[in-house]
Amino acid sequence: MFMKLSDLPKERLVALVEHFATLALTLDGLWFTSVEDELGLNTALRLDEEVWAKFGEIEGRRIMRLLGSQERGLKALADALEHMQLAHVKGMSYEVEKKGDCVVFTITDCRPQKARIRNGRGEFPCKFVGVAWLSSFAKAINPEIRVECVLCPPDPHPDDLWCKWVFKLRE
Protein backbone atom coordinates (compact mmCIF):
# COMPACT_ATOMS: atom_id res chain seq x y z
CA MET A 1 0.00 0.00 0.00
CA PHE A 2 1.24 3.48 -0.83
CA MET A 3 1.64 6.11 1.84
CA LYS A 4 -1.05 8.77 1.94
CA LEU A 5 0.53 12.17 1.40
CA SER A 6 -2.27 13.77 3.39
CA ASP A 7 -1.10 11.82 6.45
CA LEU A 8 2.49 13.07 6.32
CA PRO A 9 3.79 15.95 8.44
CA LYS A 10 4.69 19.19 6.65
CA GLU A 11 8.46 18.66 7.01
CA ARG A 12 8.22 15.26 5.32
CA LEU A 13 6.11 16.69 2.49
CA VAL A 14 8.63 19.47 1.89
CA ALA A 15 11.46 16.93 1.82
CA LEU A 16 9.50 14.81 -0.68
CA VAL A 17 8.84 17.78 -2.99
CA GLU A 18 12.56 18.62 -3.00
CA HIS A 19 13.46 14.97 -3.50
CA PHE A 20 11.14 14.46 -6.47
CA ALA A 21 12.07 17.79 -8.09
CA THR A 22 15.77 16.93 -7.80
CA LEU A 23 15.16 13.40 -9.04
CA ALA A 24 13.30 14.69 -12.12
CA LEU A 25 16.21 16.98 -13.00
CA THR A 26 18.65 14.11 -12.45
CA LEU A 27 16.64 11.98 -14.88
CA ASP A 28 16.78 14.78 -17.45
CA GLY A 29 20.55 15.06 -17.01
CA LEU A 30 21.09 11.32 -17.36
CA TRP A 31 18.91 11.25 -20.49
CA PHE A 32 20.77 14.19 -21.98
CA THR A 33 24.26 12.83 -21.33
CA SER A 34 23.28 9.43 -22.75
CA VAL A 35 22.02 11.06 -25.95
CA GLU A 36 25.09 13.31 -26.04
CA ASP A 37 27.43 10.30 -25.71
CA GLU A 38 25.55 8.27 -28.34
CA LEU A 39 24.61 10.92 -30.92
CA GLY A 40 26.72 13.98 -30.12
CA LEU A 41 26.14 17.33 -28.46
CA ASN A 42 24.34 19.00 -31.38
CA THR A 43 21.71 16.26 -31.69
CA ALA A 44 21.26 16.13 -27.92
CA LEU A 45 20.77 19.91 -27.82
CA ARG A 46 18.19 19.80 -30.64
CA LEU A 47 16.21 17.05 -28.92
CA ASP A 48 16.52 18.74 -25.53
CA GLU A 49 15.18 21.99 -26.99
CA GLU A 50 12.13 20.14 -28.36
CA VAL A 51 11.47 18.34 -25.08
CA TRP A 52 11.84 21.43 -22.88
CA ALA A 53 9.57 23.48 -25.17
CA LYS A 54 6.84 20.87 -24.71
CA PHE A 55 7.57 20.56 -21.00
CA GLY A 56 7.42 24.35 -20.49
CA GLU A 57 3.93 24.55 -21.93
CA ILE A 58 2.67 21.59 -19.90
CA GLU A 59 4.31 22.84 -16.69
CA GLY A 60 2.94 26.37 -17.12
CA ARG A 61 -0.58 25.14 -17.86
CA ARG A 62 -0.58 22.72 -14.91
CA ILE A 63 0.77 25.32 -12.49
CA MET A 64 -1.95 27.77 -13.50
CA ARG A 65 -4.55 25.06 -12.93
CA LEU A 66 -2.99 24.28 -9.53
CA LEU A 67 -2.99 27.95 -8.51
CA GLY A 68 -6.59 28.34 -9.66
CA SER A 69 -6.00 31.98 -10.57
CA GLN A 70 -7.77 33.77 -13.39
CA GLU A 71 -4.97 36.38 -13.41
CA ARG A 72 -2.86 36.01 -16.58
CA GLY A 73 -0.47 38.94 -16.42
CA LEU A 74 3.07 39.35 -15.19
CA LYS A 75 2.06 38.78 -11.56
CA ALA A 76 0.66 35.37 -12.56
CA LEU A 77 3.91 34.62 -14.37
CA ALA A 78 5.97 35.56 -11.30
CA ASP A 79 3.78 33.31 -9.13
CA ALA A 80 4.07 30.45 -11.62
CA LEU A 81 7.88 30.76 -11.75
CA GLU A 82 7.92 30.30 -7.96
CA HIS A 83 5.98 27.04 -8.37
CA MET A 84 7.91 25.36 -11.16
CA GLN A 85 9.75 22.11 -10.59
CA LEU A 86 13.18 23.74 -10.95
CA ALA A 87 12.40 26.08 -8.05
CA HIS A 88 12.42 23.15 -5.64
CA VAL A 89 15.59 21.37 -6.76
CA LYS A 90 18.32 21.06 -4.15
CA GLY A 91 21.44 22.87 -5.34
CA MET A 92 19.51 25.45 -7.36
CA SER A 93 19.19 29.07 -6.33
CA TYR A 94 17.09 31.59 -8.19
CA GLU A 95 15.38 34.94 -7.85
CA VAL A 96 12.08 36.13 -9.28
CA GLU A 97 11.58 39.89 -9.18
CA LYS A 98 8.62 41.92 -10.43
CA LYS A 99 10.15 45.20 -11.63
CA GLY A 100 7.72 47.71 -13.10
CA ASP A 101 6.59 46.40 -16.47
CA CYS A 102 8.65 43.19 -16.37
CA VAL A 103 9.56 40.09 -14.39
CA VAL A 104 13.23 39.18 -14.01
CA PHE A 105 14.12 35.51 -13.46
CA THR A 106 17.72 34.84 -12.45
CA ILE A 107 19.48 31.56 -11.68
CA THR A 108 22.37 32.22 -9.32
CA ASP A 109 23.38 28.62 -8.56
CA CYS A 110 22.87 25.88 -11.14
CA ARG A 111 23.11 22.23 -10.14
CA PRO A 112 23.17 20.79 -13.70
CA GLN A 113 25.96 23.14 -14.79
CA LYS A 114 28.06 22.31 -11.76
CA ALA A 115 27.51 18.58 -12.34
CA ARG A 116 28.66 18.87 -15.97
CA ILE A 117 31.76 20.77 -14.95
CA ARG A 118 32.49 18.30 -12.15
CA ASN A 119 32.15 15.42 -14.65
CA GLY A 120 34.56 17.04 -17.12
CA ARG A 121 31.92 17.91 -19.72
CA GLY A 122 32.24 21.69 -19.44
CA GLU A 123 29.39 24.15 -19.32
CA PHE A 124 26.17 23.18 -21.01
CA PRO A 125 25.28 25.68 -23.75
CA CYS A 126 21.68 25.86 -22.57
CA LYS A 127 20.60 29.22 -24.00
CA PHE A 128 18.44 27.83 -26.83
CA VAL A 129 16.93 25.20 -24.53
CA GLY A 130 16.16 27.94 -21.98
CA VAL A 131 14.54 30.14 -24.63
CA ALA A 132 12.36 27.24 -25.81
CA TRP A 133 11.38 26.23 -22.28
CA LEU A 134 10.71 29.68 -20.82
CA SER A 135 8.95 30.98 -23.95
CA SER A 136 6.50 28.09 -23.94
CA PHE A 137 6.10 28.35 -20.15
CA ALA A 138 5.24 32.06 -20.45
CA LYS A 139 2.93 31.43 -23.42
CA ALA A 140 0.94 28.95 -21.29
CA ILE A 141 0.36 31.78 -18.79
CA ASN A 142 -0.38 34.44 -21.41
CA PRO A 143 0.43 34.31 -25.15
CA GLU A 144 1.30 38.03 -24.99
CA ILE A 145 4.25 37.49 -22.61
CA ARG A 146 7.64 37.50 -24.29
CA VAL A 147 10.96 36.38 -22.84
CA GLU A 148 14.36 37.91 -23.50
CA CYS A 149 17.60 36.20 -22.55
CA VAL A 150 19.98 38.66 -20.90
CA LEU A 151 22.65 36.00 -20.46
CA CYS A 152 22.88 32.23 -20.40
CA PRO A 153 25.68 29.79 -21.25
CA PRO A 154 27.46 29.73 -23.59
CA ASP A 155 27.48 33.48 -22.80
CA PRO A 156 30.22 34.56 -20.39
CA HIS A 157 28.88 35.08 -16.88
CA PRO A 158 30.11 35.80 -13.36
CA ASP A 159 30.46 32.86 -10.95
CA ASP A 160 27.33 33.86 -9.02
CA LEU A 161 25.05 34.31 -12.05
CA TRP A 162 24.29 31.48 -14.47
CA CYS A 163 21.44 32.96 -16.44
CA LYS A 164 19.07 35.91 -16.46
CA TRP A 165 15.76 36.26 -18.24
CA VAL A 166 13.34 39.19 -18.61
CA PHE A 167 9.63 38.70 -19.28
CA LYS A 168 7.44 41.49 -20.66
CA LEU A 169 3.99 41.82 -22.13
CA ARG A 170 4.03 42.45 -25.87
CA GLU A 171 3.47 46.13 -26.64
- Whole-structure pTM value: 0.92
Distance CA 93, CA 73 (A): 24
Taking the chain (171 residues) in runs of 10, the rounded mean pLDDT of each run is 87 94 95 97 96 98 94 95 94 94 97 95 95 98 98 96 97 79
Cα separation, 142 vs 74, whole angstroms: 9
Cis peptide before 154 (omega within 30 of 0): yes
Given the candidates 1.10.3470, 3.40.190, 3.30.70, 3.30.1380, the CATH classification of the domain at 9-169 is: 3.30.1380
Query: Domain-by-domain residue ranges, the chain?
Result: 9-169
Please work out, in degrees rounded to the nearest 5, the angle formed at the alpha carbon of residue 28 by the alpha carbons of 23 and 29: 95
